[in-house]
Amino acid sequence: MVTRRRRRGVTLMELIMVVAITSILFGVAAPILLQANRQFIMVRTKLELQQEARGIMYVLTRAIRQAHSDSITISHANDSQPFYSKITFTKEGSTTTLVSQTLVFQQEGTTLYQLFGVNKRVLSRNLQYLEFTFPRSDDMSIISVSITLQKSIYEGRTKALHMASEKVRVMN
């Protein structure tokens, strides 16, 4: 009676084939995974900037609507900023305090600040461009507000993503 011995383990050729196939799969999959990761980062950055822009525009338009139209001045915070990157105005006080208050929105570098009395609040650290203008020279109760936000993403690249522009009618 002949007994066959069962072979245990793998041969060198089988091992080489497994390593070769695995290497090919990783070689093909790595760039695809890297591209998918970059795409995910871009989409996430886009959503973050859109949400931030909506929040900024909400705060700006709400405050500007309450401004006294004869108190609005458009200027700049310092000589390194564009002329139209700062707006100053007075607005009505709340129902409990009827005192008018001065409000300032200004760009300093890539930061958008809201100054309310002695309080200085950061609205965004991703600001690339800010502009306050009067779109019509015969109607100073309409102000155009434009912003562009930019955020750093992978490999030192930046994403100038969300540009928002809105015309606001001053109600006072």
Contact 67, 89 (CB under 8 A): yes
Dist CA 137 CA 32 (whole Å): 54
Q: What is the mean pLDDT of residues 53-64?
A: 88
CA 57 to chain centroid, in Å, comes to: 12
**Of the candidates 150, 145, 147, 125, which has an alpha carbon nearest to the alpha carbon of residue 46?**
150
Contact 128, 115 (CB under 8 A): no
- What residues are paired with 149 via a beta bridge? 127, 162
Dist CA 37 CA 28 (whole Å): 15
Q: What is the pTM of this model?
A: 0.71
pLDDT at 98: 61
Q: What phi, psi does 98 have (nearest 5°)?
A: -90, 15
Q: What is the mean pLDDT of residues 137-141?
A: 76
Q: What is the mean pLDDT of residues 4-8?
A: 70
pLDDT at 152: 79
Q: What is the mean pLDDT of residues 142-168?
A: 76
